Amino acid sequence: MTEDRFDSAEDDENYFWRLVQGRRSIRRYQTRPIPRSLLERILTAAIWAPSAHNRQPWRFCVIDSDASKLALSQAMGECWRRDLAADNADPGFIERRVAVSHARITGAAALVVAAVSLEEMDVYPDPQRAEAEWLMAVQSTALACQNLLLAAHHYGLGACWMCAPLFVPDTVRGILNLPETWHPQALITLGYTAEDREKERLSLGERVLWR
């Protein structure tokens, strides 16, 4: 029995590393829809992440209709177009960047907007602790998104984390009719992958200090 448990643990460890190291940011997808039951499984993995005070401040909006994906992409794209123009970017460059973003968003089988809500978080009168509480909620939501990305990879889906909603939270909230208490943080595209991507990581020595 001990041998069986050891073998199982070894298999589990091998799978764990394949899962973590095999995940990629995928930007091109097949046209196959994702079953709602599978999206629910992936979101269930997300909400089992740790969170500050166990308040679970994450909120998720799933967009799987073509009309909603198009409306969101167009609204965000127009905001980005204005920002790039204000930066004096070349008009051709602007249109290329917006077009690439539009294709990524509308080409995904589903989108997940991750948002933060402070409704259950602690409230402080001073700005320092209030800011710390906000950051704890943001960190908690990011942890949930990592669970989501790994679960998507486990189930054979590609995914890509995009932070564009941080720049246009009111636009995202308005287009999707989200509650005012939801603060959009990220947009995750999901779908069956239509590309292979390689990735590299810097060594531990370049990013880790030991004391």
pLDDT tens per residue, range 115-126: 999 999 999 999
pLDDT in tens, 130-182: 999 999 999 999 999 999 999 999 999 999 999 999 999 999 999 999 999 99
Q: How confident is the model at residue 199 (pLDDT cuts 50, 70, 90)?
A: confident
Does residue 129 belong to any structural domain of this protein?
yes
- For the chain, percent of residues with pLDDT exceeding 90: 91
What is the rounded distance in angstroms from the CA atom of residue 73 to the CA atom of residue 194?
A: 20
Number of domains in the chain: 1
Tokens 């370049």 found at: 206
Does residue 124 belong to any structural domain of this protein?
yes
Q: How confident is the model at residue 7 (pLDDT cuts 50, 70, 90)?
A: low
Two tokens, residue 132: 């710390």
The pTM for the full model equals: 0.91
Does residue 210 belong to any structural domain of this protein?
no
What is the rounded distance in angstroms from the CA atom of residue 154 to the CA atom of residue 132?
A: 33
Does residue 204 belong to any structural domain of this protein?
no
User: If you ran DSSP here, which 8-state letter would residue 194 be given?
Assistant: -
Cα torsion through 180, 176, 106, 63, rounded to 10: 100
Does residue 54 belong to any structural domain of this protein?
yes
Does residue 126 belong to any structural domain of this protein?
yes
Does residue 199 belong to any structural domain of this protein?
no
Strands (E) in 25-84, as ranges, are 58-63
CATH number at 129 reads: 3.40.109.10
Does residue 179 belong to any structural domain of this protein?
yes
Structural domain for 126, as ranges: 26-194
pLDDT in tens, 14-48: 999 999 999 999 999 999 999 999 999 999 999 99
Q: What is the pLDDT of residue 11?
A: 87
184 close to 145: Cβ distance less than 8 angstroms: no
